[in-house]
């Protein structure tokens, strides 16, 4: 999935003002585009790509309909995103990713599989939230397998930090949800600590661990399937906005 650096300021700004931070929610990775992905930008980009602009997005116009809006931050090559969109045709999915081959791959699937409920913004998710989306505008947020930054000295680069989660929570409507997933147990524990401490969010899990059962809509990725066969765990967190 896309990787993410964390905000450098410890507090969110006042209501509906841009989140002040220097470090972006991603780190660009080198990657080569295949011919199919390159063609997808030309053939399907005009329909499925939403250009970043520092002004409020007319979501209904972008999707051609009004429907619950789910923001996905970092979709990698887009396989899970496409499957979820197929599974939930009544929801709109606004997906942020900066990895060009991944954007091309998802564009290709959207076009070839006629996935009409996905739109892609190839830009930093925080700036998309703060400038294109209002607070209390999202019915859900998905962040699946963000970079765990394994080394201790790199933990500050992890996406799931208090200031970022607070900003996310303010953009989610009351009753909406935040769904996180990771296959790195120490990061799962940090996620649980950070998200549990956010007063705007409430854990939906009934398990004493606080982790949720994998929602049926989230498919197993090839990487995840390999890990499960090797005995590796995957941890889902599902919280709702109070």
Binding residues for substrate are 151, 183, 221-224
Exposed / middle / buried, residue 22 (Cβ in 10 Å: 0-12, 13-18, 19+): exposed
Going by C-beta distance under 8 Å and a sequence separation of 6 or more, which residues neighbour residue 65?
92
The answer to whether residue 130 is catalytic is: no
Q: What are the binding residues for S-adenosyl-L-methionine?
A: 72, 97, 124, 147
Rounded Cα distance between 165 and 138, Å, is 14
Going by C-beta distance under 8 Å and a sequence separation of 6 or more, which residues neighbour residue 220?
228
Catalytic residue among 58, 79, 139, 147: 147
Catalytic residue ranges: 147
């Amino acid at each position: 999935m896309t990787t993410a650096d964390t905000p450098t300021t410890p507090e969110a700004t006042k209501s509906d003002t841009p989140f002040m931070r220097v470090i972006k929610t991603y780190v660009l990775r080198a990657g080569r585009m295949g011919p199919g992905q390159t063609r997808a930008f030309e053939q399907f980009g005009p329909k499925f790509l939403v250009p970043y602009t520092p002004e409020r997005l007319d979501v209904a116009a972008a999707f051609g309909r009004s429907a619950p809006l789910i923001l996905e931050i970092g979709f990698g090559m887009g396989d899970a995103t496409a499957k979820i969109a197929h599974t939930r045709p009544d929801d709109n999915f606004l997906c942020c990713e900066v990895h060009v081959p991944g954007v091309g791959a998802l564009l290709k699937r959207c076009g070839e599989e006629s996935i009409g409920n996905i739109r892609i913004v190839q830009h930093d998710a925080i700036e998309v939230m703060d400038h294109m989306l209002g607070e209390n505008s999202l019915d859900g947020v998905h962040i699946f397998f963000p970079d765990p930054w394994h080394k201790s000295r790199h933990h500050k680069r992890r996406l799931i930090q208090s200031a970022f989660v607070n900003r996310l929570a303010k953009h989610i409507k009351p009753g909406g949800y935040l769904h996180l997933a990771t296959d790195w147990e120490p990061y799962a524990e940090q996620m649980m600590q950070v998200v549990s401490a956010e007063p705007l969010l409430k854990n939906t899990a009934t398990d004493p661990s606080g982790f949720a059962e994998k929602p049926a809509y989230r498919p197993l990725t090839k990487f995840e399937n390999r890990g499960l066969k090797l005995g590796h765990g995957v941890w889902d967190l599902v919280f709702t906005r109070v």
